[in-house]
Amino acid sequence: MTLREIVHTCSNPHVASAALASIGGDFALRFAAGASRRHMAAGALAARLVREFSIHAADEELDGVDEAARGADQPILSGLRYILSRGLRDEIEDWSGNGDFRAAPQISRARQAQWCCA
């Protein structure tokens, strides 16, 4: 049920952008930097990853969405974060060290708001 709701809402780039803003923090900043490297708005990339996940995810990944959402204060956002993490898993591994993220352009909060409200 959680996956269906995420796909229904976050397949829209504007909704996905607002959801990313709600997740906030380092994850949203790093995701926006990854989107920038692809010359995409963060919401557009998030929406694309959600649609691709809903079509191509293996059973254990589908179960992972439910597990991520179970017991969370914001289950949709937790499930979305899980999906987006899977979509950029190679880059996310670099986020913990001195990888790509440090060299990526920094995204200002004003720019994040622009993506959210565009």
For residue 74, give the DSSP letter.
S
Domain total in the chain: 1
CB atoms inside a 10 Å sphere around CB 19:
25
List pLDDT tens digits, range 56-109. Answer: 989 999 999 999 999 999 999 999 999 999 888 756 555 444 333 333 333 344
What pTM was computed for the model? 0.75
What is the span of the domain harbouring residue 14? 2-117
**For residue 105, what is the DSSP state?**
P
User: Helices 59-69 and 2-10 sit at what angle, rounded to 10 degrees?
Assistant: 90
Q: Tell which residue, 20, 38, 50, 23, has the closest CA to residue 118.
A: 20
Query: What length does the chain have?
Result: 118
Q: For residue range 10-58, what is the model confidence (pLDDT) as tens digits?
A: 999 999 999 999 999 999 999 999 999 999 999 999 999 999 999 998 9
